[in-house]
Amino acid sequence: MVQPLIIALDFPKAEIALDFVKQFPTSEQLFVKVGMELYYQAGPTIIRELQALGCQIFLDLKLHDIPHTVEQAATVIGQLGVDLTTIHAAGGQKMMQAAVAGIATGAKKANVRPAKVLAITQLTSTSEQMLHQELNINTSLTDSVDHLAQLAAASHVDGVISSALEVPHIKAATSANFLCISPGIRLTSQSTDDQVRIVTPAGAHQLGSDGIVVGRPITQAPDPVASYQQIKALWEAK
């Protein structure tokens, strides 16, 4: 997979998301994230409409349930022809294996390429203090992330969603080919909003991220196309 810059389309309505995408030149093959807010509002129609505009799709629904339910849901997702999708590693090995199986089954039914499955280890909004005091997990954040990444790799998941700060030790704990897609990307002048573990685009590149997800720094910019091009240049700089 080419190292993508993925735009998070965190909009409340399909019309807003589609109008946003149409600002970009057709020569710019966008890779976009459809998350819970947009997908729950617009359903699979938004996926088809974005694909018709030439977009690659990261469907970020973070499946987390009993293995059978996750497999059935993943079978539906697998038929959509999206490129990436997510599950929670905290669901355990059987659940992650069920998700991978469901994606493969759905893709075969629809005769499309299976989506790559990425596991969530710890959200980028999770701090060390939150991990210990609220979640009652008595290991370090780093150890928790590494353990869940290793479990995901053992479950034949393609990679993880992780802060760029975690990428070097995740790849050391798994393999160089284990994908690490990183949200929590901000320019140094921008607000961190509700994310804790943030990194600049250039920093993510240097740390070895295989792709980055950027939302508000692009979608809320006065000139989204210019902001996208700026972040893309920083991300792709050697």
Return the active site residues: 62
- What tokens appear for 103 in the block? 């994606």
List Cβ<8 Å contacts ≥24 apart for 199-202. Answer: 199/163, 199/164, 199/165, 200/234, 201/5, 201/231, 201/234, 201/235, 202/234, 202/235, 202/237
- Report the C-alpha gap between 233 and 238 in whole angstroms: 10
- What tokens appear for 207 in the block? 């740390």
- What tokens appear for 74 in the block? 């993943």
- Report the C-alpha gap between 83 and 122 in whole angstroms: 22
213 class by beta-carbon count within 10 Å (0-12 exposed, 13-18 middle, 19+ buried): buried
Question: What 3-state DSSP class applies to 15?
Answer: helix
User: DSSP label at 34?
Assistant: E
- What tokens appear for 47 in the block? 């996926």
User: CB neighbours of 228 closer than 8 A, spacing ≥ 6?
Assistant: 5, 7, 24, 218
